[in-house]
Amino acid sequence: MNGKQEANGGERTAGAAAKRLSIRDLNKSFGAVHVVKDLNLDVEPGEFLVLLGPSGCGKTTALRMIAGLEEADSGSIHIGDTDVTRILPKYRDVAMVFQSYALYPHKTVADNIGFPLKVRGVAEAARAEAVRDAAAQVQMETLLERYPRQLSGGQRQRVALARAIIRRPAAFLMDEPLSNLDAKLRGYMRAELKHMQHELGVTTIYVTHDQIEAMTLANRVAIIDQGVLQQLGTPRDVYGNPANLFVAGFMGSPPMNLVEGAIQNDRFQSQGVDIPLSGQDFAGAATLGFRPEDAKVVGAGEGLFDGRVYTAELTGEQTLVTIRMGEATMSIKMPKGYDVDFDSEVGVRFGSEQGFLFDTQTGGRIEARVVAAS
């Protein structure tokens, strides 16, 4: 795992109420399925932490355990200095935004937003005031008398957010809050969410399977696969310095190109590939990885290895070239003006900083550099 754990804290303004959230050795099984395995996380006060992983990786279960909706089998959860592992959700002082929004259909927008205060016995007048404030923060103050069924998806999302922020909780928990919105609205709400969290400075844990959301929203990203934390770091860190094969193959769109082969005598060898390495003493099955945007298509023989063009697709902002080399298929992003004939023989080149090597057996990183001929 990567050693770097400091957040890009400079742009964070922790609110007065913001609290640290610590998770120690958290475990959860459903029957024979071990969904969360020995999870350890420290979320700084006011930090925006994203739990990222494919569906079924245990990220939502982890969030639900923090919320208190699921009981932990073992381990502990602390919010601030309080151990909340075995207490009811209502004593945890966390607010959750559900994927489904979970608005109360028989209550108006105002009553939905004010519900957390109502059950706490806040007086009518103070409540109305707080509801107006919270609604104004999400630009819903003109729709207070509507019912959820009369709102659009984005508006329902805002109501759910307002209901979460109205009582200034110690932490926000968000379970894929944007996944039910259409693509355009999702981008807009993402920016708004980021801004709002920054303004409020409340510790936030956000669950998503969408790496764009993770990259853009997070101070730090925790990547989880099969219940195990794979890497915890800043978005820049997990993208630019993947700790293992899973992270490398998961992040990026398209993800990192992976070429399976073996390291022998300080050389990475695969079908049609033979690249000298430096700074390592590993030998055995290995995988070479490089990002589509880090590589260039060059003339045959001019790169690190040669391949055959399978397709070239103009996506608008760039040309995505797919190259086949033996069994392996790789994507390379080229400028939008680039054009190449299908089936032509080309070379692939990238710098020594841009190639990553992994142990194919364990998936772990091998600290080695590609010696790139210039």
Partner 1 sequence: MSILDRSGQPARSLTTRLFEPPAIGRMAPGSKFIVYSLLIFWAAFVLFPIYWVLITSFKLPIDVNRGPVFLPWVDFTPSLHAWRELFIIDYEDTLKAYFNSIVIALSSTTLCVLIGSMAAYALARIQYRPKLGTILLFVGSMAAAFVVVGRFGVDWRLSVAVALAVFYFLARALRRRFKVSVANGDILFWMISQRILSPIVVVVPIYMMFQSVRLLDTQIAIILTYSVVNLPIVVWLMYDFFTSIPIDLEESAQLDGATRITTFREIVLPLSKAGLAATTLLVMIFSWNEYLLALFLSTSRAQTMPILVAAMNAGERGILWWSMSVVIIVMIIPVVLMALVLQRFIAKGVLLGAVKG
Binding site for partner 1 (CB under 8 A): 67-69, 88-90, 92, 94-96, 98, 100-106, 115-116, 119-120, 147-153, 156-157, 163, 167, 180-181
> Whole-number minimum distance, CB 142 to partner 1, in Å?
18
Q: How far apart are CA 159 and CA 177, in angstroms?
A: 12
Helix/strand/coil percent split, the chain, to 5: 25, 35, 40
Give the nearest distance from C-beta 151 to partner 1 in angstroms: 7
The secondary structure of 122-140 as a DSSP string is: --HHHHHHHHHHHHHHTT-
Q: Which is nearer to partner 1, 41 or 109 (CB)?
A: 109
Cβ closest to partner 1, residue 104 vs residue 342: 104
Query: Would you say 99 or 280 has its CB closer to partner 1?
Result: 99
Token pair of 141, please? 């103050």
C-beta of 114: minimal distance to partner 1 in Å? 10
Which whole-number Å values give the CA distances from 335 to 61, 305, 320, 331, 362, in the listed order? 42, 21, 9, 13, 36
Of 95, 99, 7, which Cα lies nearest the Cα of 60?
Answer: 99
Of 179 and 318, nearer to partner 1 (C-beta) is 179
Beta carbon of residue 108, minimum distance to partner 1 (angstroms, whole number): 12
CB nearer to partner 1: pick between 118 and 236: 118
Smallest separation (angstroms) from partner 1 to the CB of 174? 12
- Tell the smallest beta-carbon distance from residue 131 to partner 1 (Å): 13
Task: Return the exposure string of 116-143: e unless at least 16 CB atoms fall within 10 Å of the residue's CB, then b.
Answer: bbeeeebeeeebeebbbebbebbebbeb
- CA–CA dist 374, 366 (Å, integer): 23
Minimum CB separation of residue 291 from partner 1 in Å reads: 34
Positive or negative: CA dihedral 6, 10, 15, 16 = positive
Q: Which residue number, 173 or 229, has a Cβ lying nearer to partner 1? A: 173
Half-sphere exposure of 73 (CA within 13 A, CB side): 15
- Closest to partner 1 by CB, 153 vs 276, is 153
* Cis peptide leading into residue 116 (ω within 30°): no
